[in-house]
Structure 1
Amino acid sequence: MAQFEALYGRKCRTPMCWFESGESVMLGPEIVQQTIEKIKMIREKMRASQSR
């Protein structure tokens, strides 16, 4: 028996198995654009901290 199952009485559900097969998730263009902007901001901050 796995440790998680022994503690909680059920199998561990990782994000990989939350969606049923054949089920698709559609993201709107706004969410995609916001994510891209946040990634750019993170990259800029990482570059700034590494250049010190």
Structure 2
Amino acid sequence: GTPAAIVSDRDPRFTSRFWKGLQNAWGTRLKFSTTFHPETDRQKEWTIQTLKDILRSCALEWTGNWDEYFCLMEFAYDNSWHASIKADPYELLFG
């Protein structure tokens, strides 16, 4: 589904007129993280590193056709415990 909100570090990809129009059409709110806020940066970098690790592991395991297993990677991430929210994303979304 469509996200209720997008958190951005003021990246022009999210602040351009095109994206603002798309967010208005979807009813998505744009939230900005605090500039140079170490806690926000750490959280973002941790998430990116986790996703890279998942992709790297799957690419090594399923060489040549790892993209066919993308749904399994998404499932694994969505059903993993996240300390920042004290739950897994799937549980928060669907109960």
Per the normalisation by structure 2, the TM-score is: 0.30
Which of the pair has the greater relative contact order for Cα pairs under 8 Å at 6+ separation? 2
TM-score (norm 1): 0.50
